């Protein structure tokens, strides 16, 4: 670049090979020309820029290799502390998870118990159809001489012997069922029933049949009234009739009482 002979602005008309300096030298140097010096400088600068970029990237990615021992030690300390903290967090979260799990399982247990209890209540209250071992009792009364009291007696006998679900003809009989004798015949829970009376009861079959057959018992009373009763024990009977259970209007669960 020292071979510049033409002055830039024309004012310096000195043709002497005096070297240009300062800003003018900068301007001359910045002017792109195809000289060997420019090409060489360019190539070296490409190399330098490349090396800088590579090194910066390298430092970003692998800063660990150029660190001093003390730095590494403090970094290790810090990392160990962090790991301890995280371990503690893990332990805490695991404890929480265990708690939640056990809470969930106890909730499941409660739900299961509630479901079972709902099924039992449904069968006992007549809300759900039921099936199981039991007996069928057919009371034929062609002369319509069997009284309501005798039928009620039969029902009570079934209850006493442990019947869990009872159906008379197409009506479900529950704890609140009643049998009423009227001028027109016999009413059960407000609906008239006509002979033959076909009872289905789920429970222990032999207990119930024995209870009905005792001398002076339910079957005997039917015969005294002028009808006839046939008791048959079966492995599988179905109580299909259901009844709606109204919500209690006055009674409420005792809040302080358990169960």
Partner 1 sequence: MIAVIGLIVGVVAGLVLEPTVPAALQPYLPIAVVAALDALFGGFRAVLDGLFDDRVFLVSFLSNVVVAALIVFLGDQLGVGSQLSTGVVVVLGIRIFSNVAAIRRHLFKA
Binding site for partner 1 (CB under 8 A): 1-2, 19-23, 25-26, 29-32, 36-55, 57-59, 62, 65-66, 68
In the bound complex, what is the minimum distance in angstroms from residue 58's beta carbon to partner 1? 5
Report the SS3 class of residue 16. coil
> In terms of CB distance, is 55 or 96 closer to partner 1?
55
Distance (Å, rounded) from C-alpha 165 to C-alpha 66?
Answer: 86
Token duo for residue 123 = 């069968």
Closer to partner 1 by Cβ: residue 70 or 236: 70
Name which of 40 and 110 has its Cβ closer to partner 1.
40
In the chain, the N- to C-terminal Cα span, in Å, equals 105
Residue 104 Cβ vs partner 1, minimum distance, rounded to whole Å:
50
Q: What is the DSSP string of 222-233?
A: HHHHT-EEEEEE
* Closer CB to partner 1, 45 or 214, in the complex: 45
Which tokens sit at 69?
Answer: 């021992």
Query: How many residues in the chain?
Result: 259
- Shortest Å, Cβ 91 to partner 1: 40
Tell the smallest beta-carbon distance from residue 56 to partner 1 (Å): 8
155 CB-side CA count, 13 A: 24
Q: At its nearest, how many Å lie between partner 1 and the CB of residue 80? A: 24
Alpha-carbon span 97 to 8, nearest angstrom: 81
């Amino acid at each position: 670049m020292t071979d510049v002979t033409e002055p830039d602005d024309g004012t310096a008309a000195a043709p002497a090979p005096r070297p240009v300096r300062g800003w003018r030298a900068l301007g001359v140097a910045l002017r792109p020309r195809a000289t060997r010096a420019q090409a060489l400088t360019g190539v070296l600068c490409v190399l330098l820029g490349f090396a800088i970029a590579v090194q910066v990237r390298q430092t970003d990615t692998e800063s660990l290799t150029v660190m001093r021992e003390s730095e590494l030690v403090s970094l290790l300390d810090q990392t160990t502390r962090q790991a301890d903290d995280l371990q503690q967090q893990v332990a805490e979260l695991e404890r929480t998870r265990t708690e939640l799990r056990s809470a969930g399982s106890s909730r499941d247990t409660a739900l299961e118990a509630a479901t079972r209890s709902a099924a039992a209540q449904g069968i006992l209250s007549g809300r759900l159809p039921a099936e199981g071992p039991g007996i069928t009792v057919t009371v034929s009364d062609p002369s319509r001489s069997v009284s309501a009291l005798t039928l009620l007696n039969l029902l009570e006998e079934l209850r006493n012997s442990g019947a869990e679900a009872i159906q008379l003809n197409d009506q479900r009989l529950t704890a609140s069922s009643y049998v009423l004798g009227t001028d027109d015949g016999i009413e059960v829970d407000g609906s008239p029933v006509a002979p033959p009376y076909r009872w289905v009861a789920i429970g222990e079959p032999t207990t119930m049949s024995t209870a009905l057959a005792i001398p002076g018992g339910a079957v005997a009373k039917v015969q005294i009234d002028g009808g006839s009763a046939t008791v048959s024990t079966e492995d599988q009977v179905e109580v299909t009739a259901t009844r709606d259970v109204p919500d209690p209007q006055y009674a409420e669960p005792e809040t302080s009482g358990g169960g």
